[in-house]
Structure formats: C-alpha cells, structure tokens
C-alpha cells in the first residue's frame, strides 16, 4: 500500500499534546477508514544515542564526569553508576529525555500482552530508515524502500516473536520500524498490546541488559475492514505444498545484464488444481543473506504460471523467493558468473562452469583441488574441508587442466568447512567453534552444548587448524556463542519424526528427497531431535540451494 499516501494514526499520545512524537507508536491506516483495522500496520520507532567510554582520571568542576565534546552541543551527561566510578560508561543524552540506549542493536523480542494469538499474525518484520525520505516505505510504495533487516520467528515455547544476530549499528536519532501484517482471518475483537524488548552492545565496552518498552494502549482487530489488494493476503485455497518455484532453463548465466535465467512460479490449490489470475511476487536475495534486494509482481496465466526472466550485472549466487500474497512457496538459486573483457587474461578453460572441481593434470594424488565459482579458483585448504562437502574423491568428477590454465584463473579465498559438519579449533586455544554460513564461527561453550549440536560422537568431529588459516578464513562473533539453551546454528541438519530439516536463521526447512541429493546432504551429519519448539517452519529447501561450496 503506502503508494496512496495513507493517513498516519497515532494511538499512543503519551504526553497528551495532540502531536505525534518520536517515542510514540504509529499505525499505517492502509484502508483509510481512520480506524486501527486488521489490515493496518503498527510502526514503532527505535532511537539510539551515542555512548562514550570515560577516560581515566578526567573530572569536571562538579566532581562528575567529563569528556571533550568538541563541536557538539552541550548535552546532558549520565553515568551508568551513581556516583560514577572510573572506567564505567557515560552517556550523551542527545534528545534530553534522561534515557539512554546502546549503539549496536543485537536482538529484539516482541510479546503480545493482548488476546491475539500467533495465528492472527501473518508476519512481523524489522526495517531500518535507509532512503532519506522520512517515514516508512516498503515494497508497496512507489518510492525506494527502507532497508528490511529480517523477519521475526515465533517461539512456540515462550509465546514470543524473536529476531537475533542483528549486530546493527545505531547512530544518534537512527530510526527503525517494526511492521505487523495481520491475518485476513484473524479473530474479530482480539487485541494487540505489544511489549518490545531490545538488547544491544556498547561497542567500546560491553553488552547491556535487555530494555523493555510496553505500548500503553490496546489495539482491537476489527472485522469491518475491507481488505486492500496491496495487503497481499494469500488467496484462499493456495497450497504451498502443491505450488512450486522452479528454473526452466539455466541455473548459471553470465552477469552481463542481458543473459537471463527464467524462473517460474506455478500456483496450485489444495486440490492440486492450477490457479489462474493469482498475484505472485518474486523476491531477489543474495544466497548468504536474508535481505530482499528487489521485488517483482505478476499475475499467473491460465495455466497458473507466472514467468520471470532474471538477469544481473552483479556476479554471485542469488536466491529467488516466490510468494503468493504473503504465503511463501519456495526458492530457486541462480549463479551469475563474471563477464571478462576479451583483452583481459582469460579466466581459464572454457570447459569450467560454476561449481566445477578441478586440479593440475600433472599432479598426482594429494594435489590441491579447486572449486570454480565467480570466475575464480577457490582452493580446498586440506582434505578434511573437502570431505565436509563431498563424500569421497572416487565418485566425484574432478576435471584435470594444465598449470598454465590454472594460473590464468584469478584467486578467490579458501573454501571453508561446510556449516553443520565439523567443529574447528587452533592447537594453542582450547576453545572449539561451530562454523556457520558466511564463515562466522561460534564458540561452543561446553561438552553438553557440543553433544546437542553434533551428537554423541561430537568429540570425533573436531579439526585443528593452523592459527594463520583460522584467522584468515573465519571470523568469530561473540554474539553467537553457543550454550545448551541456544538454538541450533544455521546449517545444522536435524531429523524430527523421521523427516530431515535444514536450520536456516531460526527456521526449520524441510528437505525433500531431490533437495537431499541435490545439495549433497549426508546422514552422518544429521542430528535427531524430539521437537521443533522455537523454530518457525520455513519453505522447503531448493534442489541445489545449499550445494555451493562458495557463497
């Protein structure tokens, strides 16, 4: 919606000044009925203030804290402890509200204090002001959108919505938005009163406790709302299980802006019948991220199909996510390969395509194996890394080319361990780490945690790395340290009720048979669990979505 410039309705005028202030929640009145209806969105601003670490020995004339403010206006100062102790934090209170926030947002938790249940809500998303237009713009706007940071997942056990591992810097007066899409079949007269819990870090010092903000008013979901087309509620009868997102021609094309991979969204109902005239969306994301880069919208033809020819000027692996309304149907993965100028050094033999393995034809057993992607060569640093991706050397095709041809291919980085397979450590450091997508490693704090994530034989799934290889190939994130109560990290394969699932950013995604083989998943890395509490059920894994050793 928002393309029609909806009215903005504030229902939390805490200071009774009849004016909306930054600290007060907003509602997007998308149907223009001047009511908070079930198709309207709640928008909440989150504001940050800079934190500085007090220099040792500095005092002011009042005996309190002092920091050189340079050209800054005279702010109020607040100390974390009273009286202030040397080495503790002080705060620049930019807005003078006598409150302070951290400068990095780590996670956010939402709990509804009202009567509406999780089934009344389609999804909750977190956005950041990113286009300089002021106010909130999303994919329904004709303006550039604000930045979507991710979606909340519903924790069944705790009855809360969570989003974690954000590590999003907060600048003074930065603005964030939480949007809520209410289900078209939500219970009439059910209520929403959100408590918003945030956790952040002082980047110069340490993590702060969660802070809680509760909406003072209760919003009632009314039944008289007329559902606007742009709200994109899934059409009645659409079946995610029977519908499909597929590539009909090329899974790898040049990133020249003209070559295309054609992606189809086929919509079927619960009776497996094709559904014509259904509005569908195709979202483009980088394979290793969960941020939507672009969205296209079409209507299915008489065969229930909408076709999207997709090109790119950017090389890399991209994921295309199909939706019918807000209902997620599935994913398709396309690799766009770099385009080289004919005058440049050729990237290698024309026989290589993205995803190929190759090595020097004059080298015997024990020679370096390379992975070809993005027009570059990525070496497997050792046999153990290779075996985390491939079951052996005998059943895999490894192309043999000359040393001259190998030398003509630009270098990429080292291939990293496949997430969910092995833990890594450095001989001089007793800590062991789980590898997650993108090369982030998370400290596994104790034996119980390791056994939970890697099974009873966890101690046989630890590999030592040279310190130089560890620091050049992986990066540690203390925010993802793993304990017995932590959720399984992304990349973990779990089995529940004899069905395999892939854990992906808090979602449990079922792995169909073709996807199990197409992604080269192996039973030796599958962990049996007794329930999926705390995990949202995501879309089924695509046939080759996680088969790429480089992303």
- Average confidence (pLDDT) per 10 residues, the chain, 551 residues: 30 45 47 54 40 36 34 35 40 44 69 75 75 60 66 78 75 65 66 67 43 53 41 61 85 86 91 88 82 88 92 88 86 82 49 88 84 92 93 88 90 93 91 92 93 89 90 89 92 90 90 89 91 86 88 67
User: What residue has token string 């020249």?
Assistant: 256
Query: What pLDDT shows up at residue 431?
Result: 93
Query: What pLDDT shows up at residue 9?
Result: 35
How far apart are the C-alpha atoms of 261 and 317, rounded to whole Å? 12
Query: What pLDDT shows up at residue 181?
Result: 72
How far apart, in Å, are the Cα atoms of 330 and each of 116, 152, 322, 510?
A: 28, 18, 6, 11
Cβ-contact 369, 380 below 8 angstroms: yes
How far apart are the C-alpha atoms of 314 and 109, rounded to whole Å? 35
Query: What pLDDT shows up at residue 330?
Result: 87
Cβ-contact 348, 408 below 8 angstroms: yes
Cβ-contact 152, 161 below 8 angstroms: yes
Task: Give which of 489, 545, 536 is closest to 517, Cα–Cα.
Answer: 545
How far apart are the C-alpha atoms of 258 and 263, rounded to whole Å? 15
Query: What pLDDT shows up at residue 71?
Result: 28
Query: What pLDDT shows up at residue 48?
Result: 37
How far apart are the C-alpha atoms of 284 and 294, rounded to whole Å? 5
* Degrees to nearest 5, angle at CA 28 with 25 and 29: 125
DSSP calls for 432-444: EEEE-GGGEEEEE
Q: Which two tokens stand for residue 450?
A: 């390791």
What pTM, to 2 d.p., does this model score? 0.42
Q: Hey, which residues does 434 pair with through a beta bridge?
A: 423, 442
**Beta strand ranges found along 1-152 (DSSP E):** 7-10, 26-29, 41-43, 51-53, 76-79, 89-93, 104-112, 121-128, 147-151
Count Cβ neighbours within 10 Å for each residue of 222-240 and write b for 16 or more, e otherwise: beebeebebbbbbbeebbb
How far apart are the C-alpha atoms of 85 and 26, rounded to whole Å? 39
Q: Is 525 helix (H, G, I), strand (E, B) or coil?
A: helix
How far apart are the C-alpha atoms of 268 and 274, rounded to whole Å? 4
Task: Give which of 319, 338, 267 is closest to 298, Cα–Cα.
Answer: 267
């Amino acid at each position: 919606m928002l393309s029609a410039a909806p009215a903005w309705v504030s229902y939390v005028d805490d200071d009774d000044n009849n004016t909306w202030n930054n600290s007060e929640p907003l509602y997007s009145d998308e149907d223009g009925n001047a009511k908070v209806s079930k198709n309207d969105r709640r928008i909440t601003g989150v504001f940050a203030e800079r934190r500085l670490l007090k220099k040792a020995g500095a005092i002011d004339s009042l005996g309190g804290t002092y920091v050189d403010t340079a050209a800054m206006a005279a702010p109020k100062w607040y100390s974390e402890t009273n009286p202030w102790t040397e080495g503790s934090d002080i705060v620049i209170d930019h807005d003078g509200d006598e409150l302070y926030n951290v400068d990095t947002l780590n996670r956010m938790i939402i709990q509804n204090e009202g009567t509406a249940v999780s089934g009344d809500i389609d999804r909750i998303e977190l956005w950041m002001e990113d286009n300089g237009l002021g106010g909130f713009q999303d994919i329904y706007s004709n303006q550039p959108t604000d930045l979507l940071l991710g979606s909340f997942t519903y924790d069944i056990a705790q009855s809360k919505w969570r989003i974690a591992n954000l590590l999003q810097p907060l600048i003074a007066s930065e603005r964030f938005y939480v949007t809520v899409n209410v289900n078209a079949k939500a219970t009439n007269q059910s209520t929403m009163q959100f408590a918003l819990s945030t956790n952040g870090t002082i980047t110069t010092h340490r993590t702060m406790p969660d802070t809680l903000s509760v909406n003072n008013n209760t919003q009632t979901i009314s039944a008289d709302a007329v559902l606007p087309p742009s709200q994109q509620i899934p059409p009645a009868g659409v079946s995610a299980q029977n519908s499909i997102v597929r590539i009909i021609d090329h899974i790898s094309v040049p990133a020249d802006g003209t070559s295309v991979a054609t992606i189809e969204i086929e919509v079927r109902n619960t009776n497996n019948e094709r559904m014509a005239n259904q509005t569908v969306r195709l979202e483009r994301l980088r394979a290793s991220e969960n941020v939507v880069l672009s969205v296209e919208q079409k209507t299915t033809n008489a065969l229930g199909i909408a076709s999207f020819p997709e090109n790119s000027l950017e090389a890399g692996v991209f994921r295309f996510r199909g939706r019918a309304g807000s209902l997620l149907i599935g994913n398709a993965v396309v690799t766009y390969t770099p385009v080289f100028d004919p005058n440049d050094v050729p990237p290698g033999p024309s026989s290589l395509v993205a995803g190929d393995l190759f090595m020097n034809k004059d080298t015997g057993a024990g020679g370096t194996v390379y992975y070809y992607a993005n027009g570059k060569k990525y070496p497997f640093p050792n046999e153990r890394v290779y075996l985390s991706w491939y079951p052996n050397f005998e059943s895999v095709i490894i192309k043999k080319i000359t040393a001259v041809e190998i030398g003509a291919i630009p270098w990429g980085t080292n291939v990293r361990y496949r997430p969910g397979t092995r833990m890594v450590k450095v001989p001089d450091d007793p800590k062991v780490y789980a590898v997650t997508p993108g090369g982030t490693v998370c400290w596994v704090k104790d034996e119980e945690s390791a056994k939970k994530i890697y099974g009873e034989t966890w101690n046989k799934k630890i590999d030592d790395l040279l310190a130089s290889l560890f620091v050049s190939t992986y990066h540690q994130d203390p925010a993802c340290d793993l304990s017995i109560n932590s959720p399984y990290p992304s990349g973990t394969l779990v089995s529940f009720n004899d069905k395999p699932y892939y854990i992906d950013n808090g979602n449990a995604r079922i792995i169909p048979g073709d996807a199990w083989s197409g992604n080269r998943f192996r039973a030796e890395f599958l962990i049996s669990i007794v329930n999926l509490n705390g995990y949202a059920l995501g879309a089924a894994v695509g046939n080759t979505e996680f088969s790429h050793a480089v992303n």
